[in-house]
């Protein structure tokens, strides 16, 4: 019985750590997408930058909610690309 409780506790601990790993992965994805947007912007490839900026906005909205600063930054980047 002790072993079953120990295994169950270890399993629950593993599951509780998983969301932070996913959050970290999505933050990395958002950062990578933003770096790509800046690279395309500086290269003058605005139409491709818009596509990547839209994806960065989607990632931010899905993972942080609509009121997060990452969403605001993504919207600002997208607006700047459309302004050009």
Give the model's pLDDT for residue 27.
Answer: 83
Query: pLDDT (tens digit, 0 to 9) for every residue of the chain, 84 residues total?
Result: 554 544 544 444 444 444 444 456 668 999 999 999 999 999 999 999 999 999 999 999 999 999 999 999 999 999 999 998
Prediction pTM value: 0.70
| Closest residue by Cα to residue 52 from 83, 67, 31 | 31
- DSSP code, position 53: H
Give the model's pLDDT for residue 2.
Answer: 56
Any idea how long the chain is?
Answer: 84
Please give the Cα distance from 16 to 65 (Å, whole number): 21
Please give the Cα distance from 29 to 40 (Å, whole number): 16
């Amino acid at each position: 019985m002790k072993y079953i409780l120990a295994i169950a506790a270890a399993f629950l601990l593993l599951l509780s750590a998983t969301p932070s790993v996913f959050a970290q992965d999505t933050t990395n994805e958002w950062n990578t997408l933003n770096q790509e947007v800046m690279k395309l912007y500086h290269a003058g490839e605005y139409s491709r930058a818009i596509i990547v900026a839209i994806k960065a906005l989607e990632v931010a909205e899905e993972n942080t909610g609509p009121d997060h600063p990452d969403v605001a930054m993504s919207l600002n980047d997208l607006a700047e690309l459309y302004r050009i």
